[in-house]
Chain A
Amino acid sequence: MFAVLMIWREKLAIDLGNIALVIAMIVSIYAMLGSFLGISRRSDVLVMSARYLFFTIPIFLLLSAVALVYAFVRHDFSVRYVAENSNLAMPSEYAWVAFYAGNSGSLLFLVLVFSVLATIAILTLRRKLPIVSHYSVGIMAFVVTFFVFVMLFFANPLERLPITPSDGQGINPLLIHFGMFIHPPVLMTGLVSITIPFSISMGVLMAGQGGEDSWIDIGRIWAMLSWLVLTLGLLMGSWWAYTILGWGGYWAWDPVENSGLMPWLILTAFVHSIMVQKRRGMFRMWNMILIILAFSMAQLGMFINRGGPVPSVHSFAQSSMGWLFLGFMVFTFLISIAIFCFRVDTLKSSAKLDSIVSRESVFLFQNVLFIVVALVTLWGTIFPVFSETIDDTVMTIGRPFFDQVNGPILLAIILFMGIGPLLPWRKSRFKVLLNVLKLPLLVAVLLPIILLFLGITNPLALVAFSICSISATGIFYEWIKGTRVRHRHGENWVSAFLRLLLGNRPRYGGYIIHLGIVMLAIGVVGSSFYDFQKDFVMSPGDSSEVGDYSFKYLDVETKQFSDREEQIARFEVSKNSDSIGIMSPFRSFYPEKRISATRGAIHSTLVEDFYIVASEISENKQGVFRIYINPLVWWMWLAGPIIFLGAIFAISPSKITLGKRVKENSLVS
Chain B
Amino acid sequence: MRSRLLRGNWRWMAFSVCLVTLAGSAQMANAEGTDEIDFNRDIRPLLSDRCYACHGPDENHRAGGIRFDQAESAYGEADSGEIAIVPGKPDESELIARIISHDESIQMPPSDSNKKLSLEEIEILRRWIAQGAKYQSHWSFEVPHKSDPPQTTVAGWGQTEIDRFLAARLEKEKLIPSAEADKRTLIRRVTFTLTGMPATIEEVDAFLADESPDAYEKVVDRLLASPKYGEHMARHWLDAARFADTHGLHLDNFREMWMYRDWVIQALNENKPYDVFLTEQLAGDLLPNPSWEQKVASGFNRCNVTTNEGGSITEEVKMRNVNDRVVTTGTVFMGLTMDCTRCHDHKYDPLKQKDFYAMYAFFNSIDGSPMDGNVKDHAPSIYSKEAVEQIASFDQQIKAKKEETQATLAKIDYQDPGPGVDNPEVKAEEIVWIDDAPPEGGAVSGNYNWVAAPEPVFSGEKSAKRTSTGNDQVFFTGAKAPLTIFKGDVMFGYVYLDPKNPPREIMFQWNDGDWDQRAYWGEDLIPYGKNGSTKHRLGDLPEAGKWVRLEIPIDKVKLKEGAKINGWAFTQFDGTVYWDKAGVVTKYGKSPQFKSMVAWSEYAAKNLDTVIPENKQVTEILKKPADQRNEEDGKKLQRYFLEFVCADTQETFDKLRADLKSLTDQRSSVVKDSPTTLIYKEAAKPVKAFILERGEYDQIGEEVTREVPSFLPPMTEEMPRDRLGLAMWLLAPNHPLTARVAVNRYWQHVFGTGLVKTSEDFGSQGSVPSHPQLLDNLAVEFRENGWDIKRLMKRMVMTAAYRQSSDISPEMAKRDPENRLLARGPRFRLDAESLRDQALAVSGLLVDTVGGPSVKPPQPDGLWKAVGYSGSNTVQFKADEGHEKIHRRTLYTFIKRTALAPQLSTFDAPNRESCTVRRERTNTPLQALLLLNDPQYVEAAVALAGRTMDTGGADPVSKIDYLISLCLLDPENQVLRKELESLYFDSLTYFQDNPEAASKLVGKDENPAELAAWAIVCNTILNLDEVVTLR
Do the two chains bind?
no
